[in-house]
């Protein structure tokens, strides 16, 4: 009996069951909740599924998957910690983005810039709440509602909070249809939301091709720290708009984007181990992220009101809410709010202008913070 019992006890002693603690179970539950939200509720499934699964496997004790030469640790160091994955995602994002709505009405770029106010509101709040300046910068960028930028800045300035910042960023992106409408209604009247904007002009192919080159050069010279993000985003957009390398464009939009999404998501999830995630700071980050996102939405709508007055009532202030870079959810939400007030109102293409401007604006805001505060040493 003893001969039979000894190997069984040894297997148990070496198993994860023997090492399993309550905090591991809590994080496994958190991962399962993320999977539920992704699968059943449709909340950003492309990212929340790999993040949720990464959170589960990293909290299975004894696996060593995020230690030493563990599988996910190697991928994390090579792609996420080195910032390669977020930058590649920007190239993919550029290849998927049509900047025509912004080019058709360039003044809407100001709405995308105004919505970045949420970043700096949360930054001040984070510093006040006891976070260091670099961590506060990484937390503040959640307000831009841009997952790749949030991951990029967190990996450079606050890698210890990477998991919490990524989960908060993608969660709020998926909750745009719930968070934004009350804020839009708070700062607009039904009459405001009913304003019908004129049809945007048609953008020439020449403009589409020149735009990424001009933006890459101008922003790169103005803010050298922006070159990795803006430069790769504009490269992705150029191969899309050039129309001569369709194979490369399709590859960036599909295979490269999908592969990078998988490895970026699962390695971010793998940073959510119980010891580093189950802290009071995590709840603070989630709360500050919500404040940042709400402040960004409010700032966009308020600036939209200013533009409505200056344009003589030709601009619907609702499109200011699309200035956060949750593409295309924020633009769609603005469009639906306009239609609720006036069923004949079609704001989607107008809202896409500030929406894609917000993507550039968030990357520029991150670059400004990097230039002023500096990344990790």
Given a contact cutoff of 8 angstroms between Cβ atoms, the answer to whether 153 and 369 are in contact is yes
Residue with tokens 């905090």: 23
Residue 36 forms part of a structural domain: no
Residue 34 forms part of a structural domain: no
Q: Find how far residue 360's CA is from the centre of its chain.
A: 12
At a CB cut-off of 8 Å and minimum separation 6, what does 231 contact?
Answer: 216, 220
Residue 75 forms part of a structural domain: no
pLDDT per residue as tens digits for the range 135-178:
999 999 988 878 889 999 998 999 989 888 988 888 788 788 88
Residue 375 forms part of a structural domain: no
Give the DSSP per-residue string, 258-283.
HHHHHHHHHHHHTT--HHHHSSHHHH
**Residue 205 and residue 223: Cα distance in Å, rounded?**
27
- Say whether 327 sits in a helix, a strand or coil: coil
- Whether pLDDT at 323 is above 60: yes
Whole-model pTM above 0.75?
Answer: yes
Confidence grade of residue 377 (pLDDT, cut at 50, 70, 90): very low
Mean pLDDT confidence for 268-283: 89
**Residue 86 and residue 80: Cα distance in Å, rounded?**
7
Residue 169 forms part of a structural domain: yes
Burial 153-190 (b: 16+ CB within 10 A, else e): bbbbbbbebbbbbbbbbbbbbbbbeebbbebbbebbee
Given a contact cutoff of 8 angstroms between Cβ atoms, the answer to whether 154 and 85 are in contact is no
**Residue 327 and residue 346: Cα distance in Å, rounded?**
17
Containing structural domain, residue 128: 95-370
Residue 57 forms part of a structural domain: no
pLDDT of residue 13: 65
Given a contact cutoff of 8 angstroms between Cβ atoms, the answer to whether 367 and 225 are in contact is yes
Peptide bond into 328 cis (omega under 30): yes
Overall domain count for the chain: 1
**Residue 354 and residue 101: Cα distance in Å, rounded?**
8
pLDDT per residue as tens digits for the range 33-67:
999 989 998 888 988 899 999 999 999 998 889 98
pLDDT per residue as tens digits for the range 324-376:
888 888 999 999 999 999 998 999 999 999 999 999 999 999 999 998 887 54
What end-to-end distance do the CA atoms of the chain give, in Å? 59
Residue 209 forms part of a structural domain: yes
**Residue 366 and residue 128: Cα distance in Å, rounded?**
20
Residue 158 forms part of a structural domain: yes
């Amino acid at each position: 009996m003893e001969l039979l019992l000894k190997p069984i006890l040894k297997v148990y002693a070496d198993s994860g069951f023997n090492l399993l603690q309550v905090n591991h179970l809590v994080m496994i539950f958190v991962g399962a909740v993320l999977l539920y939200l992704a699968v059943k509720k449709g909340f950003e499934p492309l990212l929340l599924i790999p993040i949720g699964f990464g959170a589960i496997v990293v909290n299975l004790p004894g696996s060593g998957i995020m230690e030493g030469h563990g599988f996910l640790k190697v991928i994390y160091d090579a792609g996420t910690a080195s910032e390669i994955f977020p930058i590649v995602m920007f190239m993919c994002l550029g290849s998927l983005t049509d900047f025509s709505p912004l080019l058709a009405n360039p003044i809407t770029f100001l709405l995308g810039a105004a919505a970045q106010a949420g970043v700096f509101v949360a930054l001040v709040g984070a510093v006040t709440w006891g976070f260091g300046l670099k961590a506060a910068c990484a937390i503040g960028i959640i307000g831009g509602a841009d997952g790749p930028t949030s991951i990029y800045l967190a990996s450079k300035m606050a890698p210890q909070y990477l998991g919490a910042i990524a989960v908060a960023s993608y969660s709020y992106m998926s909750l745009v249809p719930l968070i934004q409408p009350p804020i839009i209604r708070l700062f607009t009247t039904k009459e405001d939301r009913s304003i019908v904007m004129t049809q945007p002009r048609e953008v020439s192919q020449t403009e589409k091709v020149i735009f990424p080159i001009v933006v890459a050069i101008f922003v790169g010279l103005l803010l050298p720290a922006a070159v990795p993000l803006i430069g790769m985003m504009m490269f992705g957009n150029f191969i899309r708009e050039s129309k001569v390398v369709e194979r490369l464009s399709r590859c960036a939009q599909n295979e490269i984007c999908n592969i990078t999404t998988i490895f970026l998501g699962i390695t971010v999830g793998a940073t959510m181990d119980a010891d580093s995630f189950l802290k009071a700071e995590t709840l603070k980050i989630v709360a500050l992220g919500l404040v940042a996102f709400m402040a960004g939405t409010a700032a966009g709508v308020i600036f939209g009101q200013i533009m409505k007055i200056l344009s003589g009532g030709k601009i619907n202030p609702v499109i200011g809410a699309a200035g956060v870079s949750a593409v295309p959810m924020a633009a769609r939400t603005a469009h639906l709010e306009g239609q609720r007030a006036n069923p004949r109102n079609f704001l989607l293409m107008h809202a896409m202008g500030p929406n894609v401007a917000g993507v550039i604006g968030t990357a520029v805001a991150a670059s400004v913070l990097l230039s002023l505060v500096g990344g990790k040493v």
